[in-house]
Structure formats: C-alpha cells, structure tokens
C-alpha cells in the first residue's frame, strides 16, 4: 500500500511502526494506530468537513482490507481552540455559546450530536474511540507540567504557559523549512512577551473580566484552560501510546497545529517520530470560493437533503476527486453525481434481482468460463491497486463502471460491486427500489390525506424517531389496507396512492 506522507513530501510504501521495528509484546503486529483531528463543536458540521471525514473513512476501510487492525482515535475539540493561530482572541466555544444563546457545554453537546448525525448519514464508520478535550484536562495539564520540568516552557504573566520553539532543533520539519526564520517579526507582538514568533500556548489564563465558562485550576492560575494544540498530543499519547502510525487532518493544519503537535509530543516523550505518516486532505471550495456564511455558500448535510439530494450522491461526488486535490463543489456537479449514483443503484438492483432468479433456478445459470473468471479477478485487482495507491478513488470508480459494462455473469458482477462498496461506503447492500427516484409515480402530500391517516402518519414519524419499528410497521400495514404505500427514504417518507 502506498500513501503520500507530508513529512517526507513523497508517496511511500506504507508499513506500520511495528512492521518496521518489530512487534511490541502483547500487541497485534498488524495493528495500525491512527489519530484523526476531529471537529471543534462550536457550530454546524459543513460539507467541507464531510469531505475530509469521508476520505478518512476510505483510508480506514482500505487499511482493514489490507489486513490491518486499525485503532482509530478521533478527538472532539470542545475547549481551547482560539480563533487566532497566534494564540489571540476568544475560544471558539465561548464565541459559539454567545452566538446561539446557550452555554458552552450546551452547544458542545448540540454540535457534537450534529457531527455524528452527519457522519452516520454519510456512511462514515464510527472511530474506535471518540474522546473529548474537556474530559482529558488532567492529561493535558500533566503533559504541560512535564514539558515545564524539561525546560521547554516559559510563563507570560496574564497570558499563559508557552512552548519555547528555540529549544527544538527540528521545529518545522513537517512544513519542510524552519518557520522561525520566515515568520514576520511583527507576529511577536500578537502576544506581548513571546520570545519567538513561532512560540505557542500550551496553557492559557483567563484575563480580567473575561468570565469564561470553561476554566480549571492550575499551578499558574486559578482560572485557566488548555491551549488548542496540547489536546491532540495528550489524547493521542494516552490512548495510542507515544508513537502512532498515521495522523490525519486538513492541509490548513500543517503549518501551525500539526507542526506544534510534533514539537510538544516529541519533546514530551523523547521519541521520534510522533507520527510516522501524516495524511492531509485538501480544501473543498464552493462555486470556486472558500465556504463562508457571509457568502451564503455554507452548506450542511441538512441543506443537501432539503434540496432533494441523497448523502450517497454527495459521498460519490467526494470520491470522484483525489483527496490531495482541491475540489470545487457546485449543485450542478452534485446533480451529475446523483444521476450517476441512481444509475449505479439501478444497475446494482437489476443485477441483484437477476442473480436471485438464477439462484432460484440453478439450471438456467450458464457455466462460468476461465476467461470470465480471469476478467473478474483482473477487475478486482485493478480496483484495489488504485485504492491502495494513495487512495486513488477516481480511478477506482472507473473500474466500477467497467464491471457494469462487462460480460461477466450477474453473480460475478454482484460480488464485485459489494466488494468494492466495502471500500467506497455507498451502502448499496442496504438499499432497495425504495431508494430510487419516484419521478414516474403519483405521490400524495401528507396534508391531502384523510384526517385519520394524517394522524397515523404523525404517529409513525414519532415511532420511527423513537426507533419503535414494530409500531411503525403496524401503521404501514394500516396505510396499505387504506390503499396507500409508504416508501421510507433516507431523508423522508413518500406516500403513493395504490388505486
């Protein structure tokens, strides 16, 4: 398997640390320790986030297919992420709390729930462990205290505890140059008292009159809180050990966040490297521009659903572009992706139905030929050669369409499509004709139903939300008896008159 490593600036053959240095006692020699930068839960998860986590998901699926036991840890940043990389400004959680008129703790829960709601709709596998920064305060504090004892820190009065980057010769290796030589000297002024422009906050102090909601006592200040960077190092080391195989994030994290993670982690543990492979995802633009609420181009998964698109179509769109390339999102491209997805789904369902008929009548099945078996094996190998070559999903998708055009048997096509979808994550196996568009069917609006059926429909919606599927099925039967078919889709329920 090949992966581009930001640390080496080249595509490398992937081997876990244990494969390179030898297995540690009592550990699976094929285990991969992977840490993924998670969301800062101060606002809604948007489609730019979704692209990054879809491709993390593909990475995990490919590694597992390659025989690795992936321990995937992902953080939830619910404290400490300041609005400025220069360690200035308020915490994003405090800003979000003021914007939405709730406590910082309330919006953390609200937007964490929305994050996982979005992930589930996109078919993204849950991480092995999801951990909150606010629940690892002592781990972070302990790490800062150790760095202090080792002489890597200094305190700026009324500001916080800072990491002294001049104490680390290799600072900036992830970027490929020493940022201490290129950062503007004026940046020192962002926080009065910083020794070097690249120095960063490990622990911050509440300022007079600030009245933060999230504060903890520390040896330096009674009301204080962790800096943003320290959480990822502390939680990664606590749950995965001093060295990990893969660390993922966005390209915007390379210059500051991940550079600082490496500095504090390797200074703390004395081990190098902190992460063997760094995998970074490029930006998603919207209509050629950066996504922004002020530009009215900020979209969540609910915005996508409300416009009539399926999560699978959005996922397919993301898969059509390489993760290291910028991707430009437009509703025109999403429409094309949805059409392609429905074409794929219709073909899959047709193949599945024909296969079932053949299995019911074995005598009708034409014997497999050596040539067909070889072609099926060739297509299988091509697909995995692409995804194992730095997650080349665009080329892998081309193999999917080749399968549909091939002369393979329905059974061979069916098996290949399901095998491919274990990586692509489109969820074909769980889909039926109810997931196809209903453009040629006469649908009925809820408010045009007889009053008793409108009431039943609302009761069924409540039952579905409460996961009372027995009651939901009973109501579906009552609708059928009244001459209506209920068609459950990912984001809605369609009503078709059977008369």
Residue 311 falls inside a structural domain: no
- Give the CA distances from residue 301 to residues 114, 169, 298, 307, 428, in Å, rounded to whole numbers and listed in that order: 10, 44, 10, 10, 20
- Domain limits for position 419: 330-433
Number of domains, the chain: 3
Q: For the ranges 323-327, 360-364, 375-379, 388-392, which has the lowest average pLDDT?
A: 360-364
Phi, psi for 342 (deg, rounded to 5): -65, -35
**DSSP letters of 433-491?**
GGGS--TTS-B--GGGS-HHHHHHHHHHHHHHHTT-HHHHHHHHHHHHHTTEEEEE-SS
484-488 and 244-250: which strand pairing? unpaired
62 plus 78 within the same structural domain:
yes
Per residue in 41-50, pLDDT tens?
Answer: 999 999 999 9
377 plus 235 within the same structural domain:
no
**DSSP letters of 9-50?**
TEEEE---HHHHH-PPTTS-TTEEEEEE---BTTS---HHHH
Q: For the ranges 35-49, 217-231, 419-433, 468-482, which has the lowest average pLDDT?
A: 468-482
DSSP-assigned beta bridge partners for residue 327: 284
Residue 197 falls inside a structural domain: yes
96 plus 131 within the same structural domain:
yes
Cα separation of 414 and 299, whole Å?
35
* Confidence (pLDDT) at 87: 80
> Would you place residue 26 in the very low, low, confident or very high pLDDT band (cuts 50, 70, 90)?
low
Closest CA to 267 of 121, 168, 178: 168
Cα separation of 66 and 60, whole Å?
10
Residues with Cβ within 8 Å of residue 470, at least 6 apart in sequence: none
Residue 65 falls inside a structural domain: yes
Taking CA 460 as the corner, what is the angle to CA 458 and CA 464, rounded to the nearest 5 degrees? 120
Residue 292 falls inside a structural domain: no
Q: For tokens 């953080």, what's the residue?
A: 75
Residue 293 falls inside a structural domain: no
Residues with Cβ within 8 Å of residue 182, at least 6 apart in sequence: none
Per residue in 154-173, pLDDT tens?
Answer: 999 999 999 999 999 899 99
Phi, psi for 398 (deg, rounded to 5): -65, -30
* Confidence (pLDDT) at 107: 96
> For the chain, how long is the longest CA-to-CA vector?
84
Per residue in 275-296, pLDDT tens?
Answer: 999 999 999 999 999 988 778 8
Q: Which of residues 433, 455, 471 is at a domain's end?
A: 433
Cα separation of 108 and 133, whole Å?
11
Closest CA to 95 of 103, 184, 71, 253: 103
Q: Is the pTM of this model over 0.85?
A: yes
- Give the CA distances from residue 9 to residues 175, 176, 177, 243, 250, in Å, rounded to whole numbers and listed in that order: 9, 8, 12, 20, 15
* Confidence (pLDDT) at 90: 82
Phi, psi for 32 (deg, rounded to 5): -115, 125
- Round to the nearest angstrom and report the end-to-end CA distance of the chain: 56
105 plus 89 within the same structural domain:
yes
Q: For the ranges 22-36, 218-232, 266-280, 435-449, which has the lowest average pLDDT?
A: 435-449
229 plus 349 within the same structural domain:
no
Residues with Cβ within 8 Å of residue 226, at least 6 apart in sequence: 79, 80, 133, 137, 140, 141, 144, 202, 203, 204
Q: Which of residues 224, 248, 281 is at a domain's end?
A: 281
CATH of the domain at 383: 1.20.120.1910
pLDDT exceeds 70 at position 181:
no
137 plus 192 within the same structural domain:
yes
* Cis preceding linkage at 460, omega within 30: no
447 plus 423 within the same structural domain:
no
CATH of the domain at 248: 3.40.50.620
39 plus 187 within the same structural domain:
yes
Residue 325 falls inside a structural domain: no
* Confidence (pLDDT) at 187: 47
Q: Which of residues 281, 297, 312 is at a domain's end?
A: 281
19 plus 112 within the same structural domain:
yes
231 plus 334 within the same structural domain:
no
**DSSP letters of 264-300?**
HHHHHH--S-SEEEEEEE--EEETTB---GGGT----
Cα separation of 287 and 290, whole Å?
8
| HSE of 62, CA atoms in CB hemisphere, 13 A | 23
DSSP-assigned beta bridge partners for residue 486: 495
pLDDT exceeds 80 at position 29:
no
User: What integer is the mean pLDDT of 460-481?
Assistant: 88
426 plus 443 within the same structural domain:
no
Residue 112 falls inside a structural domain: yes
Residue 295 falls inside a structural domain: no
* Whole-number CA gyration radius for the chain: 26
3-state SS, residue 496:
strand
231 plus 217 within the same structural domain:
yes
User: What integer is the mean pLDDT of 406-427?
Assistant: 96
Query: Do 393 and 383 touch, CB atoms closer than 8 A?
Result: no
């Amino acid at each position: 398997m090949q992966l581009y490593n930001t640390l080496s600036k080249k595509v490398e053959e992937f081997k876990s640390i244990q494969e390179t240095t030898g297995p540690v006692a009592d550990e699976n020699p094929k285990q991969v320790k992977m840490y993924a930068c998670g969301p800062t839960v101060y606002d809604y998860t948007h489609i730019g986030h979704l692209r990054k986590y879809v491709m993390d998901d593909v990475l995990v699926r490919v590694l597992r297919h390659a025989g690795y036991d992936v321990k995937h840890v992902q953080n939830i940043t619910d404290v400490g992420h300041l609005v400025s990389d220069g360690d200035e400004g308020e915490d994003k959680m405090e800003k979000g709390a003021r914007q939405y008129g709730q406590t910082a703790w309330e919006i953390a829960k609200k937007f964490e729930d929305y994050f996982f709601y979005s992930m589930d709709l996109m078919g993204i596998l849950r991480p092995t462990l999801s951990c909150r920064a606010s629940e690892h305060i002592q781990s972070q504090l302990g790490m800062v205290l150790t760095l202090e004892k080792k002489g890597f820190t200094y305190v700026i009065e009324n500001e916080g505890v800072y990491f002294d980057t001049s104490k680390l010769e290799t600072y900036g290796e992830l970027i490929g140059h020493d940022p201490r030589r290129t950062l503007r000297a004026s940046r020192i002024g962002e926080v009065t008292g910083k020794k070097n422009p690249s120095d960063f906050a490990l622990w911050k102090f509440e300022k007079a009159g600030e009245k933060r909601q999230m504060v903890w006592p520390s040896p330096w200040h009674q009301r204080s809180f962790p800096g943003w960077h320290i959480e990822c190092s502390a939680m990664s080391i606590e749950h995965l050990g001093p060295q990990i195989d893969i660390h993922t994030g966005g390209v915007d994290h390379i210059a500051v966040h991940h550079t600082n993670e490496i500095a504090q982690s390797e200074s703390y543990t004395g081990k190098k490297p902190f992460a063997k492979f760094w995998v970074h995802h490029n930006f998603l633009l919207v209509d050629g521009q950066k996504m922004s609420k002020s530009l009215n181009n900020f979209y969540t998964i609910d915005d996508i659903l409300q416009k009539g698109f399926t999560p699978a179509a959005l996922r397919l769109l993301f898969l059509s572009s390489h993760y290291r390339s910028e991707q430009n999102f437009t509703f025109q491209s999403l429409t094309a992706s949805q059409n392609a997805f429905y074409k794929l789904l219709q073909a899959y369902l047709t193949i599945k139905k024909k296969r079932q008929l053949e299995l019911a009548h074995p005598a009708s099945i034409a014997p497999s030929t050596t040539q067909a078996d070889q072609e099926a094996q060739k297509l299988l190998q091509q697909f995995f050669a692409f995804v194992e070559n730095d997650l080349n999903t665009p080329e892998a998708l081309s193999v999917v369409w080749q399968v549909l055009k091939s002369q393979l048997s329905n059974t061979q096509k069916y098996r290949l499509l399901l095998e491919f979808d274990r990586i692509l994550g489109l969820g074909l196996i769980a889909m039926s004709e109810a997931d196809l568009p209903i453009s040629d069917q006469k649908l009925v609006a809820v408010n045009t139903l007889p009053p008793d059926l409108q009431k039943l429909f609302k009761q069924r919606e409540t039952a579905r939300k409460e996961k009372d599927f027995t009651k939901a099925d009973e109501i579906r039967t009552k609708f059928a008896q009244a001459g209506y078919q209920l068609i459950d889709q990912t984001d809605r329920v369609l009503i078709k008159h059977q008369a």
